[in-house]
Structure 1
């Protein structure tokens, strides 16, 4: 289940995102769609990078055993509205497709994947999900092909 906090005017097909979430986890996920200012502040505070980014993931810092016992959420995914719109235009697909791609990327981070440290496992899993939902290539797949 997704707890959506859309702080923007971006149209969201929550049902499409729910289908993706349900294939990856039974845990609740908080999804926040926000503006550049908020995203830059969060990126500076939590990653030490004082710039806007497309997606941030914040896993719940509770041991998985406690999550299963108490039904705690998996974590939070925060997506910048501007990136969704810009990348959709840049790559010639829909806003919903780009939102789905960023959501998948965020979900995988919540599940413990880290493309900055792994040996390509996140990239492989992301590509599998993209193909399963017939979506265009994601950021890390696009980067890999460049």
Structure 2
């Protein structure tokens, strides 16, 4: 289940994102869609990078055993609406497709994947999910390039 807090006018197909979330976890996930100013502050505060980024993930800071016992959420995903619009236009797909890609990316981080330190496992899983949910191949190319 997704707890959506859309702080922007960006249209969101929550049902499509729920299908992705349900495939990856039974835990609740908080999804916040926000503006550049908020995203820049969060990125500076939590990652030491004073710039806007596309997506941030904040896993729940409790042991998985406690999460399962108490039904704690998996964590929070924060997405910058400006990146969704910009990248959708740049790559020629819908804003919902872009939002789905960023949501997949955020969910994988919540589940412990880390593309900065793994051997390509996260990118491979992203590719599988893009294909599973019939998202545009431009998203696969983009994840392989980064």
Pick the TM interval, shorter chain: over 0.9
- What does 1:1-146 align with in structure 2 at a 5 Å threshold? 1-137=1-137, 141-142=141-142, 144-145=144-145
* CA distance in structure 2 between the partners assigned to 1:29 and 1:21 by the alignment: 8
RMSD between superposed Cα atoms in Å: 1.4
TM-score under structure 1 length normalisation = 0.96
C-alpha distance after superposition, 1:42-89 (max 9, x if no partner): 000000000000000000000000000000000000000000000000
Q: Which contiguous aligned blocks of 4+ residues in structure 1 show a shift greater than 4 angstroms?
A: 137-141
C-alpha distance after superposition, 1:77-128 (max 9, x if no partner): 0000000000000000000000000000000000000000000000111100
* CA distance in structure 2 between the partners assigned to 1:94 and 1:122 by the alignment: 23
* Number of residue pairs aligned between Structure 1 and Structure 2: 146
TM-score under structure 2 length normalisation = 0.96
Q: Which runs of 5+ in 1 are unaligned?
A: none
Q: Which runs of 5+ in 2 are unaligned?
A: none
Asked whether the equivalents of residues 130 and 140 of structure 2 are also in contact (C-alpha less than 8 Å), the reply is no
